[in-house]
Amino acid sequence: MASSSMTGVCADELQCIVCFELYEEPITLPCGHSFCKVCIEQHWESREEATVCDCPNCREVFPIKPKCQKNVALAKLVEQMKLVPGVNEEKMKLMSVVNVEERRCTNHGKPIQLYCKGDESFMCVMCMVGQHKNHEVVPVEIVHDQLKGVLAAKCPELSKSKQHLESQLHQLKRQVEQTQDSGKGTVDRMEEKRLALYQYVDKSVDLMKSSVIKRQNEKICLLQKQMDKVKEQLNSLQETNSTLKAALQDLETISFLQGYKDVIKRLESVSHFQSLKMAQPTVLDFSKEEKNLGSFIELHENFLKNMKPVELQMSELDQSSLRSLYGRSPSLDPNSAHRRIKISRDLRMATRTETDNQYPEHPDRFDRCVQVLSSDCFSSGRHYWEVDVRSSSLWGIGICLNSMRRKGGGNECELGENPESWCLQKYENEYYTVHNNQGTHLSVPGNPERFGFLLDCEEGEFTCFRDSRVLHVFRGNFLDPVKPVIGVYGDGESVRFCSF
C-alpha cells in the first residue's frame, strides 16, 4: 500500500468508507469517524426517517444533526497523499477490486449479496429489515442464472429471424437481376427497329425506351428500398446478436444484471423481423412496348401524338411494395371524433362506446354520425395505408373532402352517402363500396382482418385492396384536400390504423 514518508499514513487510511475514494472535503462526526461531506449528507438523506442522523461506521445515532465542518488537518493529509507516486494507481486498483469483487450497499456499507425482484435493485442483508421488508428477495447468483437463461432462450429465435432476413435479401437481389435482364433485351430490340421508323423513328424509340427504363427504374428503386430495409434490419439483428452473446459471456454478476434490461429491449425491438413476409416475385412485362413499337410503322403519323407511355402497373405492385413506396400510418383527430368514439393514446384506434365521452365542443366534431377523421390531409402524390378491422363487424372506411359537413343528420355527414366521400363498408357480413349514396356489392371471400387503401391524387384514383387484390377503384377529383375517415357502428367494437 502506498504511503507518504512525511506523514507515515497509508492511502487506505484516508479513504471514505462510503465511496471508497480519497476524502473530498472531509468532515469528522462527534463519534470520531470521518467521511466526505457529500457522502454523509447523501447517507442521511437516504434514511427512512429524515430526522435520524447516524454514523455509517459505528451506527451511533445523533439526536441533533451534527454541524459538518471541514476537517482541515485531514484535508491537508489527503492533498499530500495525492502527491505521492503510485497513489493514483493504488486507488484504481482498489476501485477495481471494490467494483468487481465486493460492491457495497450505500445505505449500510455492507457487500451486495441480494437482489429485490419487486424494486429491481441490489441490496445487502441489512436492507431486508428496511424498505425491502416483505419483498421477494433472492441471492444475486440465483437471479443471475435465471436471467441468463432467459437470454439464452432467445438465441434460437434470433438465429431464425437472421436466416429469414438473409433469405429475403437474396430473393430481392435476384429480382433486381431479373428486372435488369428483362429490360435490357427489350431495349436492344427496339434499337434494331429504329431504321424502319423513318422520320418518326427518333421520337418513337426514345418514347418507348423511356417507358421501359422508367418502369425498370421504378421497380429497381422499389427493390432497392426493400433491400436497404432488410439490410438495416439484418444489421440491427447482428448487433443485437453480438450484444446477446456478450451478455451471455459476461461472468460478472452485477455488470450482467445492470445490462440485462438493455439487452431485453433490443431483443424486443427486433422480435417482429421474423414475421415479415416476402411477396411473390414479379418480373416486368415489356411485351406491350415491343408490340406497340413493331406496329408503329403501319400506323398514321398522328399515332405519336396519341401514344401514351405505359406506367408501372398496379398489378406489378403488391401490398408490401405499396408499404415501402407510399406507406403512411395516419393519426386520428380527437377534435373530429363523435362523442361515442374513444381514441387510443397512440391516436391509431377508434372504439365505439355505449356512452358519450367528455369531449369539448369543436367545429370539426361529428355530432350525429359515429365517425372520426384523420389529422392527415392529402392533396398531391400517392399515399397508402392499411386498417385493422378484426375487432369490428360493422364499419365504414374511406376518404372525404375536407369540406364535408360534420354537423346535422341526413346524408350530408355520413361517409359514402354524399358526393364528398368514398368508402368501403361492411354491413351484415357483406361488403359494399359506397359513394354519393350509391352502393356496389363486393364479393370478398373469408373474413379479412385488414384492408389496404391507395390514394393517387394526380390520377384521381382511390383503390381498395385485400391481400394485394384490387377490390374496387373509385375515381374523382382528389386534388382538393381529402382525409382518411373511419366509422365504427357496433357498440364496443374497434377499428385501427396500422403502423408500418
> In the predicted model, what is the mean pLDDT of residues 48-55?
70
Same domain, 178 and 53: no
Q: Is the pLDDT of residue 99 over 50?
A: no
pLDDT band at 48 (very low <50, low <70, confident <90, very high): low
Which pLDDT score is estimated for 313? 55
Q: Look at residue 459 and tell me whether its pLDDT is greater than 50.
A: yes
Residues 45 and 24 both lie in one domain: yes
Q: What is the share, in percent, of the chain residues with pLDDT greater than 90? A: 30
Evaluate whether residue 50 is within a structural domain. Answer: yes
pLDDT of 9 above 60: no
pLDDT at 299: 62
21 with 59, same domain: the answer is: yes
How many Å apart are CA 444 and CA 429, to the nearest integer? 10
Give domain status of residue 113, yes or no. Answer: no
Of 340-344, 404-408, 415-419, 447-451, the range with the lowest mean pLDDT is 404-408
- Residues 208 and 259 grouped into a single domain: yes
Dihedrals φ, ψ of 61, to 5°?
-100, 135
Residues 412 and 469 in one domain: yes
Residues 165 and 46 in one domain: no
Least confident of 66-70, 247-251, 403-407: 247-251
What is the tally of structural domains in the chain?
3
- From CA 258, how far away is CA 267, in angstroms rounded? 16
Assess if residue 152 is contained within a domain. Answer: no
Main-chain dihedrals φ then ψ at residue 11, nearest 5 degrees? -60, -35
The pLDDT of residue 297 is 60
Predicted TM-score of the model (pTM): 0.45
DSSP 8-class letter at 133: T
Whether the predicted pLDDT of 286 surpasses 90: no
**Residue 416 confidence (pLDDT) above 90:** yes
Per-residue pLDDT at 344: 96
Q: Which residue has the higher pLDDT, 261 or 352?
A: 352
| 333 and 474 in a common domain | yes
**Any domain includes 116:** no
Give me the pLDDT at residue 437, please: 92
For the ranges 199-203, 342-346, 468-472, the lowest mean pLDDT is seen at 199-203
* Residues 67 and 41 occupy one common structural domain: yes
**Residue 91 has what pLDDT?**
46
Domain check: are 355 and 303 in the same one? no
Examine the pLDDT at 195 and tell me if it is beyond 80. Answer: no
Q: What is the pLDDT of residue 20?
A: 76
pLDDT of 451 > 80? The answer is yes
Q: Judge whether 150 lies within some domain.
A: no
Under the banding of pLDDT at 50, 70 and 90, the label for residue 383 is very high
**Is it the case that residue 71 has pLDDT exceeding 90?**
no
Residues 272 and 237 in one domain: yes
Instruction: Say whether both 274 and 345 belong to one domain.
Output: no
Place of cell 421477494: 136
Using DSSP's 3-state secondary structure scheme, residue 177 falls into helix
Q: For residue 454, give its domain range.
A: 326-497
Lowest mean pLDDT among 144-153, 191-200, 348-357, 487-496: 191-200
Of 316, 351, 384, the position where a domain reaches its end is: 316
Using pLDDT thresholds of 50, 70 and 90, give the confidence band for residue 258: confident
Is the per-residue pLDDT at 131 higher than 80?
no
Residues 199 and 269 in one domain: yes
Last residue of a domain, one of 316, 338, 360: 316
| Mean pLDDT, residues 420-436 taken together | 95
Q: Which of 74, 101, 128 lies at the terminal end of a domain, its last residue?
A: 101
Residue-averaged pLDDT of the chain: 82
Residue 498 falls in which region: left (phi positive, over 0), alpha (psi -120 to 50) or beta: beta
- Residue 54's CATH number: 3.30.40.10
Q: Report yes or no: 424 and 392 within 8 Å, Cβ to Cβ.
A: no
List pLDDT tens digits, range 135-183: 888 888 888 888 888 888 888 888 888 888 888 888 888 888 888 887 7
Any domain includes 137: no
Q: Which helix (H) or strand (E) holds 162?
A: helix 140-192
Is position 148 within any domain? no
Note whether residue 484 is domain-resident: yes
pLDDT band at residue 94, thresholds of 50, 70 and 90? very low
Q: Which of 349, 348, 350, 347 is nearest to 338 (CA)?
A: 350
Task: Give, in degrees to the nearest 5, the angle at Cα 156 between 154 and 162.
Answer: 100
